[in-house]
Structure 1
Amino acid sequence: MAEDGMLSWDESIFRDEHVFEIDYLPETFRHRDEQLEGLQYALRPAVRGSRPLNAMVRGPPGTGKTTAIQKLFGELDGRRGVRTVRVNCQVDSTRYAVFSRIFEQLFEYEPPASGVSFKSLFKQITDHLTDEDEILTVCLDDVNYLFYEGEASETLYSLLRAHETHAGAKIGVLLVSSDLDLDVIAELDGRVQSVFRPEEVFFPAYDEDAIVDILGERVARGFRDDVLALPVLDRVAALTAETGDLRVGIDLLRRAGLNAERRASDAVESEDVETAYETARHVHLSRRVRGLSDPERTLLTTIADHDGERAGTVYEAFHDETGLGYTRYSELVNKLDSVGLIDADYTTVEGRGRSRELSLSYDADAIRDRL
């Protein structure tokens, strides 16, 4: 580094910028021993050739749920006769899409885009498992999206009952949900409830000491020495604790580092953190918006233009834009409400009874920027 504290063109304050990316899998995984033990208990039978126990993994966003499963799946994948598949249900939010992803992971090529029935897809998967004598553990990550689309019970029913229709097929299921308002068991069909008795594993929000510890390790691996002083790290940890989402802190460190480089400075200062926080605190907003379909994006834009107005008024504007009917509109409103992008609250309107008011859960400009 230059002696005057300024970077030259070919210098960087990052040792390894990938450490600050959301999909980075840390070598050490701290403050989650109890949760890892719970998941290992559920998965251990697979190593002995038996069907693993089913598990329900819950906790707020950014509390290490996905990382824990990726860690354990990584350890299991090397074992003979054990297969693991993680499905991102924000992307694959129908039963057919889930099983297409399982097919792709097992056979290492995608099923044909059309012309293959679910029954055929399902049979090829179960035949493969029995022919190869393999035990499959499926993680339905962000399973709350299957519930929002009304696809959860059918998907789970097919997975949990596979051994009844295809003798010898051994499949265990891990459900991961960040929606603490969603009572997963209560929302399932009775026929699924009768066979789904999961182990419960809860991931609480990290406290501030844990956040300092975890982010401190990222700083040591990701930045060069003496780039980020302890008081600056404490400020990042405090802002992260406010949101309860570790991903906000990781993203904040990266953006603060980029801000320091933009100033050609060889150290991250508090001003770099404060400037970066406006963007980093919306890390889950960006993620939620990315997963929206075109009609959902159009509706979100319409609500941004009519923030706080009644559902009927918003519908008229949405219908003019898309031509979609009220039933579909109502389904889309419920979806946006479920994923936390809007609040759809009932209010009493004089002379008109109860009506829903639609308002954004985030600043309108922040949403428009991400749309």
Structure 2
Amino acid sequence: MADDPEEGMLSWDESVFREEHVFEIDYVPETFKHRESQTQSLQYALRPAVRGSRPLNVMARGPPGTGKTTSVQKLFDELSAQTDVRTVRVNCQVDSTRYAIFSRIFEGIFDYEPPSSGISFKKLFRQITDKLVEEDEVLVVALDDVNYLFYEGEASDTLYSLLRAHEAHSGAKIGVIVVSSDLNLDVIEELDTRVQSVFRPEDVYFPVYDRQEIVDILGERVKRGFHEGVIGPDVLERVAELTAESGDLRVGIDLLRRAGLNAEMRASRTVSLQDVEDAYEKSKFVHLSHSLHALSENEVALVRVIAEHDGEQAGEVYDVFHEETDLGYTRYSEIINKVDQLGIIDATYTNVDGRGRSRSLSLRYDPEAVLARLDD
């Protein structure tokens, strides 16, 4: 493709993108700006691992889309390339039980999955620690989106097993990084006292990027991802403005990609402000989509019922939910608490005439937007 954006329209085999994968959410950029102090704090905590000792534990926290996962992943890539330190990052949205997490750790150490059945947690745990001692390796585990372990009641048992590994098997050296995007969750306070006594993490906070930082970061993506001249300064500024309003860098990254696709639909070599405005109608729901895609089948069923019965009392919603899933009220209440903590719904107590206090369930998003993303 010619770099002159004014030279005619796109032909069918041309693209405004130089490297479209640059705009995927899990892309790790070569140049990572405005997180130098956080990176230094992580390096400080993990420095003992490079010397063969157990590293300091870390709690990395901050709003969604503030660079927590990228910081950890870049550091893990460096450690794996330059040292004998073993690193395993676990996505707790996907693996939200202690057994599932240790299965992922097993896979990271042995390079194959453990048997799908017939192996107890105790045996799985022993094989992991045996391997670490045998190879004289230090393991660093990142529990990404650890808040999901709390929603499922699995956090204390998981962390207890990791933090006490050296007591269960002398010579096992494991460090833990917990990454949380839920600022309403007090990680330490919500842990069992048996875990609190041994979990004294370094606290690394990731604030929301300011407007100029967003321009810098998205500007780097534009240079790598688009051909020259596709994104003008006014378009980049508008994307940065919308991103700053959301507080989530992922919105801006997704917005650039969708705006580029909109330009291609018009066979245009440049992205217009209107392409951005049209794309924002979908990109502004990036966090919602991210949360919905991590839900189980029954959790999705509840969100769908609430979307269709927005603002109704919990008991009325339960009748519909029970008819669809056959689940009891206890599990129903647990799922309500989880999707409330995720910020998908509001579950507020109100007084109902003749019935005392009841929870009113309503979505924090437009019901049509939620239903559309459930059907994606």
For the criterion TM > 0.5, the same-fold answer is yes
1:4 is displaced (CA, Å) by: 4.9
1:22 is displaced (CA, Å) by: 0.8
1:348 is displaced (CA, Å) by: 1.9
Which residue number in structure 1 is paired with residue 204 of structure 2?
201
The yes-or-no answer on 1:114 pairing with 2:122 is no
The yes-or-no answer on 1:237 pairing with 2:240 is yes
**Post-superposition CA distance 1:120-163 (Å, at most 9, x none):** 00000000000000000000000000000000000000000000
Report if the CA contact (8 A) 2:16-2:227 is conserved.
Answer: yes
350, 357, 364: which one aligns with 1:354: 357
Letter in 1 for 2:262: N
Which residue number in structure 1 is paired with residue 38 of structure 2?
35
- How far apart, in 2, do the equivalents of 1:74 and 1:3 lie? 41
- Structure 2 CA distance for partners of 1:168 and 1:261, relative to 1, 3 Å: same
1:273 is displaced (CA, Å) by: 0.2
Secondary structure, aligned partner of 2:114: coil
The yes-or-no answer on 1:302 pairing with 2:305 is yes
Which residue number in structure 1 is paired with residue 84 of structure 2?
81
- How far apart, in 2, do the equivalents of 1:366 and 1:67 lie? 28
- How far apart, in 1, do the equivalents of 2:258 and 2:89 lie? 29
Report if the CA contact (8 A) 1:47-1:79 is conserved.
Answer: no
Secondary structure, aligned partner of 1:354: strand
**Post-superposition CA distance 1:25-52 (Å, at most 9, x none):** 1111100111001111111000011100
Which residue number in structure 1 is paired with residue 140 of structure 2?
137
Letter in 2 for 1:35: Q
Where structure 2 has 5 or more consecutive residues not aligned to the other structure, the ranges are none
Report if the CA contact (8 A) 2:6-2:269 is conserved.
Answer: no
Which residue number in structure 2 is paired with residue 281 of structure 1?
284
Moved more, 77-86 or 242-251: 77-86
Moved more, 133-142 or 79-88: 79-88
Aligned residues: 371
- How far apart, in 2, do the equivalents of 1:10 and 1:355 lie? 59
Where structure 1 has 5 or more consecutive residues not aligned to the other structure, the ranges are none
Letter in 1 for 2:308: D
Which residue number in structure 1 is paired with residue 331 of structure 2?
328
- How far apart, in 1, do the equivalents of 2:350 and 2:193 lie? 33
Per the normalisation by structure 2, the TM-score is 0.97
- How far apart, in 2, do the equivalents of 1:164 and 1:365 lie? 52
1:287 is displaced (CA, Å) by: 1.1
Show the 5 A alignment for 1:33-112: 33-112=36-115
Moved more, 356-365 or 197-206: 356-365
Which residue number in structure 2 is paired with residue 364 of structure 1?
367
The yes-or-no answer on 1:225 pairing with 2:210 is no
**Post-superposition CA distance 1:314-348 (Å, at most 9, x none):** 01111111111111110111111111111101112
Moved more, 176-185 or 350-359: 350-359
- How far apart, in 2, do the equivalents of 1:10 and 1:163 lie? 58
Secondary structure, aligned partner of 1:347: strand
Show the 5 A alignment for 1:157-196: 157-196=160-199
Which residue number in structure 1 is paired with residue 215 of structure 2?
212
Report if the CA contact (8 A) 1:55-1:201 is conserved.
Answer: yes
- How far apart, in 1, do the equivalents of 2:367 and 2:331 lie? 23
1:352 is displaced (CA, Å) by: 2.4
- How far apart, in 1, do the equivalents of 2:49 and 2:97 lie? 26
Which residue number in structure 2 is paired with residue 149 of structure 1?
152
Moved more, 347-356 or 150-159: 347-356
Q: Which runs of 4+ in 1 moved over 6 A?
A: none
261, 272, 286: which one aligns with 2:275: 272
- How far apart, in 2, do the equivalents of 1:330 and 1:23 lie? 33
- How far apart, in 2, do the equivalents of 1:232 and 1:221 lie? 16
Secondary structure, aligned partner of 1:78: helix
Report if the CA contact (8 A) 1:54-1:174 is conserved.
Answer: yes
Secondary structure, aligned partner of 2:340: helix
- How far apart, in 2, do the equivalents of 1:297 and 1:24 lie? 27
- Amino-acid identity (%): 71
Cα RMSD after superposing both structures: 1.0
Report if the CA contact (8 A) 1:5-1:267 is conserved.
Answer: no
